[in-house]
Structure 1
């Protein structure tokens, strides 16, 4: 199960580090082509989502690696499931039916939460 965890957690961490980093660093104009929803929320909220994504990505990887509060990796994975539920709702509310990526990330986060190393959640 450790291998499955590191594959799923690694993929999620890379995705969220990239996406969160973009939300933290880029302007609304530079985000708009990739994320049309940024026009519907204050930029402060976009930055906050980016910060949550970067912290969550770190939470998937560092606690199991260091053995410090390893249960927090489970919290990060569950947090990403909740984040994608909210993101899917936003997309649907805006009439955007392209939610395949959101659903994929939600399932990957759920899988990460269920395949964590046996010692991780203790």
Structure 2
């Protein structure tokens, strides 16, 4: 199960790293064209989420890999699960059903990592 949690954490980290860099790299106008929800949000929101996603992605892997403060792994996973819970709520409210699938999957996977690393498979 430990190896499975590492694999899931790595996949979740890769997804959030990609998503966060995407939010940080694009101009606000280009990001709104790609993700319409951002047009209704404050201008700073996508960048703030991008920073949280990049930090969360790093927090899923680096502390345990380096052996320094591995307790940060389940904390990062919990934070990313909360971000995805917000994304699911946003997409539900906006009626964006296709966007629920990736958000929901990432929510469940981040929650599994948090459960496993806080619980029976802690470092």
Structure-2 residue corresponding to 1:112:
113
TM-score (norm 2): 0.89
Unaligned runs of 5+ in 1: none
Structure-2 residue corresponding to 1:101:
102
Deviation at 1:33, TM superposition (A): 4.2
TM-score (norm 1): 0.90
Query: Relative CO higher for 1 or 2, CA cutoff 8 Å, sep ≥ 6?
Result: 1
Unaligned runs of 5+ in 2: none
Aligned length: 120
Structure-2 residue corresponding to 1:69:
69
Indicate conservation of the 8 Å contact 1:24/1:47, yes or no: yes
Return the alpha-carbon distance in structure 2 between the equivalents of residues 32 and 119 of structure 1: 39
Q: How does 1:45-60 map to 2 (within 5 A)?
A: 45-60=45-60
Indicate conservation of the 8 Å contact 1:85/1:106, yes or no: yes
Deviation string for 1:26-77 (max 9, x for gaps)? 0123223432211011221110100000000000000101111111100011
Which structure is higher in helix share?
A: 2
- Does 2:19 correspond to 1:16? no
Q: How does 1:84-99 map to 2 (within 5 A)?
A: 84-98=84-98, 99=100
Aligned-residue RMSD, C-alpha = 1.5
